[in-house]
Amino acid sequence: MGKQRDLSTGIVAQIQALRQQGLTQTKIAEQLGISQSSVCKALKKNCSKRTNCSGVRKTSARDNKQLRKIAVSNRFKSTSELTDLWNKQTGADVSRSTTYRRLRELGFKSRVPAVKPMLNKKQMAKRLKWAKEHGEWTAEDWQKVVFSDESRFCISFGDQGPRVWRRGGETYNHECVKRSVKFPQSVMVWGCMSARGVGKLCFLKKTVNAAVYQDVLETFLIPTVEEQFGEEDFIFQQDLAPAHAAKTTKDWFTKKQLEVLAWPANSPDLNVIENLWAIVKRKIRDRKPTTLDQLKQNLATAWEAVSAETCDKLVKSMPCRLQAVIQAKGAATKY
């Protein structure tokens, strides 16, 4: 593309006059039939010749207060959408860039929202009750627990999705988090860990029903606990997936004389293995696997590389996690 012509002195004078009248760069460009970039360049060039070109602010303290209310009520709107709402509600004629600057001044920053499961009031009440019941457990008590979970790993980790307007300290506010959905098909694995290290990793080749799950426990859990605990007592943790809560699975635990920790629904923030999955996924993402075999190989390597120190540090965070749930009155926490 060739170099743009310089605007005539007359056009520049019109731009300056319209700007002084309070018109936005977009409006000026439309009225004069030129590009917005040309208007911007003309104004910047004129500004550089002046000692003070701050201009008069187009918004009042009252307008800014209204913008704060709009942003809080429309967390997932874009800057352009917030600008339209602001102009409609205040009768102002501000640009997108003005809206963006005011939002920054008000402490809002556009961020990728944290993803947390949807919790209803009943689930929040059960989480709060569970946290209080186990609030006196020490880090040593939690070191006797074997945490488990399934997780899906993808070759493509996808984009980050929509952003959210929030202020400092609002990362995990209910209205600022994005609700999670199922991951696309790829590789599903089952794993377990305790403060003593990770257990044996299982690549799941078919849908996990009660029979498949019991086979996984027999083949991968039992050898892990025998290696890590020997004759010592331990408690097994699992979530409330249908295969986990099936009657035949409960009978299997009874037969094996294994103690299972009661667990509240929709509580990945209480399961330390979720953080371990995140660590492994970051390592795999850095390696950028392009085939399913590469993904499996990278996953197995990253899992085996997790140190016992890392696992112990995660398990020691359990008392803090419970206190966070209590403080949040059962709502989602930062963990």
Q: What is the pLDDT of the chain when averaged over all its residues?
A: 88
Cα dihedral 277, 278, 279, 284 sign: positive
Residue 28 belongs to domain spanning: 9-46
Any domain includes 114 = no
Beta strands (DSSP E) in the chain are 109-111, 115-116, 145-153, 164-166, 178-179, 187-194, 197-198, 202-204, 235-237, 259-261
pTM higher than the cut 0.75:
no
Q: Is 98 helix (H, G, I), strand (E, B) or coil?
A: helix
Q: How many other β-carbons are positioned within 10 Å of the β-carbon of residue 144? A: 17
**15 in any annotated domain:** yes
- Tell me: do 190 and 304 sit in the same domain: yes
* 335 domain residue, yes or no: no
Does any domain span residue 1? no
Q: What is the pLDDT of residues 4-56, one digit of tens each?
A: 567 788 888 889 888 888 888 888 988 888 988 888 888 877 654 444 444 56
Does residue 288 belong to any structural domain of this protein?
A: yes
User: What's the total number of domains in the chain?
Assistant: 3
Q: pLDDT tens across 101-139, in order? A: 999 999 999 888 888 888 999 999 999 999 999 999 998
Amino acid 160: pLDDT: 47
Check residue 206 and give its pLDDT. Answer: 82
C-alpha to C-alpha distance for 240 and 245, rounded to whole angstroms:
6
Same domain, 33 and 166: no
289 and 147 in a single domain? The answer is: yes
- Together in a domain, 137 and 252: yes
Identify whether residues 188 and 73 lie together within a single domain: no
Residue with tokens 């959210």: 164
Give the per-residue pLDDT at 173: 87
